[in-house]
């Protein structure tokens, strides 16, 4: 498995501002992803964080709103830009260890007022 940490664990933000979430893994991993879990809902993949190149975004998510960095194989950041109350969610990073096994970080709970 992998030990994954996220910062911050939670935050309350004002609309129109931006928040950067950090994800740190205790070992080098090739595949890293960012998911969103809206209140009471399932998980939705936002993007694949690619090391050394631009992230790959899923339908409905764009780089201007969710810029992602992946400077090395153990770290990534997700920024939620120009926030609105609809962005209130849990944001989780995940990593693939081995062939396909995917582990999740503890999540960042975001509330936008």
Partner 1 sequence: GENVEQHPSTLSVQEGDSAVIKCTYSDSASNYFPWYKQELGKRPQLIIDIRSNVGEKKDQRIAVTLNKTAKHFSLHITETQPEDSAVYFCAATLGTSYGKLTFGQGTILTVHP
Please report, for residues 62, 110, 111, the alpha-carbon distance to residue 105 in angstroms, rounded to integers and kept in the order given.
22, 15, 18
Q: How far is the CB of 74 from partner 1 (least distance, A)?
A: 17
Q: How far apart are CA 39 and CA 34, in angstroms?
A: 16
Q: How far is the CB of 106 from partner 1 (least distance, A)?
A: 5
Contact positions vs partner 1 (CB under 8 A): 31, 33, 41-45, 48, 58-59, 92, 96, 100-107
Other Cβ atoms closer than 10 A to 57: 17
Measured from the CB atom, is 18 or 58 closer to partner 1? Answer: 58
Measured from the CB atom, is 6 or 77 closer to partner 1? Answer: 6
């Amino acid at each position: 498995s992998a030990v994954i940490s996220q910062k911050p664990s939670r935050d309350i933000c004002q609309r129109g501002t931006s928040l950067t979430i950090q994800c740190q893994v205790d070992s080098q991993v090739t595949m890293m992803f960012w998911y969103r879990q809206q209140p009471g809902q399932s998980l939705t993949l936002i993007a694949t964080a690619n090391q050394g190149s631009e992230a790959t975004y899923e339908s409905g998510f764009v780089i201007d709103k969710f810029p992602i960095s992946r400077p090395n194989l153990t770290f990534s950041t997700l920024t939620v830009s120009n926030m609105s109350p609809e962005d209130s969610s849990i944001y989780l990073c995940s990593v693939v260890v081995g062939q396909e096994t995917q582990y999740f970080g503890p999540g960042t709970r975001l509330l936008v007022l």
